[in-house]
Amino acid sequence: MSEALINLFYLLAAVLFIFGLKGMTHPRTAVRGNLLGALGMLIAIVVTLLDRRIVSFEVIVAGFVVGALAGAVMAYKAPMTAMPQVVAIFNGFGGGASALAVGAALEEALKGGFVEEISVQFTVAAAMSGLIGAVSFTGSGIAFGKLQGLIAEKPVLLPGRHAMNALLLMVCLALSGWLVAQPDSSLAFWALCGFAALLGIMLVIPIGGADMPVVIALLNSYSGLAAAGHGWVLNNSVLIIAGSLVGAAGFILTAIMSKAMNRSLPNIIFAGVGAEVSTAGAADEVYANVKSTSPEEVAMMLDVARRVIVVPGYGMAVAQAQYAIRDLCDLLAERGVEVEFAIHPVAGRMPGHMNVLLAEAQIPYDALKDLEEINPTFAQADVVLVVGANDVVNPLAREADPSIPIAGMPILDVDYARSVVIVKRSLSPGFAGIPNPLFAADNALMLFGDAEEVARDLLAALKEV
């Protein structure tokens, strides 16, 4: 197949990718969009397999089989609550694959195969791919470990870490410079990958669980850029287009999420949230007047309510309470109560994570309202059920005090409702590590327990009323 024809097919694949991502603008078109993207990928792969330089397919097929099995098993066996770490690990694979593939291309070029001379474009792109790919690989691995609970979730702040990271980056850049200036050995490249891998670990380990959504979005962007760099090395148009698309998409999503938390991106990446002492007040003082309640009492409140808003949080995900909540809301709806869900942009471990969990429980997506839509309506709500959410409903965020980790972050104004019932296992803090004055508010009641069990108890109690 001539190169022009191959590139035409690559263009077709790229167009399909664009349509694929565009499909994500609405649930109706999203499934089809994803399938179009997959089709584009298939076309790109098949067309490449027709390349005359490929002498044998055994290794390729072996790689396909191993990878496909691993991918499919992880995709289907992981519970929905583990989606963030699944995306993290696939992302890491992609970044690592780019770095390795570029290294292999470099080795081939050094042996005199496939390129006439190793151009500056080649080496610069190779260095970029190796650096970004390796950072993405280990960074994603750490993100996976933290989300899976294999590594401490709290930020691990090593002394002098900023200096260390700056030093590592300098080393990487120096090695890149060496590779470009003297492209006669691959040593610089592999050393670069090694140091970049270390940098990846150092960059992600100080970041706490609450900031993981932003980190994953950013790492996603990095893998895209690594793939684009890979494309620059091989002069492959579909790699460049698709890689840049994903690089840009990931970056925009990162920006959106940072804005939702009202923190600047450098702040999230370079600061270790939750490890500094803040003036948020000692928990004992804040919680002196906390009132707790029982499922029966809450059921009575729900019985006379006309508008109920549910605020899901990570606690609901952990307890896998989404089905119980759905049953509870179905019962309320049967009784003519208007039920809506308030989804904070950073609730859960990934953007839109709550939406996915609630959709899994078959709660219709038009009952899910985002922050701007639902905030003005809390004043007309009779009962707000906060299920496993904490920081996103913490009124301390309204303070301008910079020592409060969540200061300035837009929150859900649940305290404006008539009554707030907070379902939580204990008074322990959320990821920001600070107490939540909402729990002690006059119109707030704590319903202690596991979200799933509490929801079931509420359901039973409501049936009795």
Partner 1 sequence: MEVFVAVLTIFVLSLFVGFEIIQKVPPLLHTPLMSGANAISGITLVGTLVTSGAQLTTFTTILGFIAVAMATANVVGGFLVTHRMLEMFRQDGGRRK
Query: Among residues 8, 12, 30, 174, which is the contact residue for partner 1, using CB under 8 A?
Result: 30
What residues contact 293, with CB distance under 8 A and at least 6 apart?
421, 445, 446, 447
Structure tokens at 293: 């309640």
**391 is an active site residue:** yes
Smallest separation (angstroms) from partner 1 to the CB of 223: 4
From the list 211, 391, 413, 457, the catalytic residue is: 391
Query: Among residues 5, 49, 187, 465, which is the contact residue for partner 1, using CB under 8 A?
Result: 49
Q: Cα dihedral sign for 408, 412, 418, 421?
A: negative
Smallest separation (angstroms) from partner 1 to the CB of 249: 5
Structure tokens at 329: 């809301």
Q: Does 70 bind partner 1 (CB under 8 A)?
A: yes
Q: Does 34 bind partner 1 (CB under 8 A)?
A: yes
- Lay out the site mask for partner 1 across 121-140 (x = CB under 8 A, - = otherwise): x-------------------
Smallest separation (angstroms) from partner 1 to the CB of 288: 37
Query: Among residues 45, 158, 173, 379, which is the contact residue for partner 1, using CB under 8 A?
Result: 45
DSSP letters spanning 215-261: HHHHHHHHHHHHHHHHHHHHT-HHHHHHHHHHHHHHHHHHHHHHHHT
Smallest separation (angstroms) from partner 1 to the CB of 143: 12
Site for partner 1 in 157-186 (CB under 8 A): none
Site for partner 1 in 94-113 (CB under 8 A): 94, 96-98, 100-105, 107-108, 111, 113
Query: Among residues 169, 171, 191, 248, which is the contact residue for partner 1, using CB under 8 A?
Result: 248
Q: Does 258 bind partner 1 (CB under 8 A)?
A: no
Torsion angle (degrees, nearest 10) of CA 101, 106, 108, 109: 140
Query: Among residues 8, 12, 21, 441, which is the contact residue for partner 1, using CB under 8 A?
Result: 21
Contacts 24+ apart (CB under 8 A), 73-76: none
- CA–CA dist 433, 405 (Å, integer): 8
Closest by CA position to 423, among listed 286, 315, 289, 343 = 315
Q: Does 191 bind partner 1 (CB under 8 A)?
A: no
Smallest separation (angstroms) from partner 1 to the CB of 3: 13
Smallest separation (angstroms) from partner 1 to the CB of 259: 12
Q: Does 322 bind partner 1 (CB under 8 A)?
A: no
Residue closer to partner 1 (CB basis): 86 or 202: 86
Q: For residue 405, count other CB atoms closer than 10 A to its CB.
A: 26
Return the SS3 of 383.
strand
Please answer whether residues 139 and 201 qualify as being in contact, where contact means their C-beta atoms are separated by less than 8 angstroms: yes
H helices of 111-119, in order, are: none
Query: Among residues 302, 337, 343, 383, which is the contact residue for partner 1, using CB under 8 A?
Result: 343
Judged by CB under 8 A, which stretch of 276-284, 362-370, 402-410, 452-460 contacts partner 1? 362-370
The secondary element (H helix, E strand) that includes residue 129 is helix 120-148
The secondary element (H helix, E strand) that includes residue 309 is strand 307-312
- CA–CA dist 424, 452 (Å, integer): 10
Judged by CB under 8 A, which stretch of 34-42, 402-410, 418-426, 436-444 contacts partner 1? 34-42
Q: Does 403 bind partner 1 (CB under 8 A)?
A: no
Residue closer to partner 1 (CB basis): 319 or 363: 363
Smallest separation (angstroms) from partner 1 to the CB of 459: 17
Structure tokens at 368: 């899910």
- Give the residue numbers annotated as catalytic, written as ranges: 391
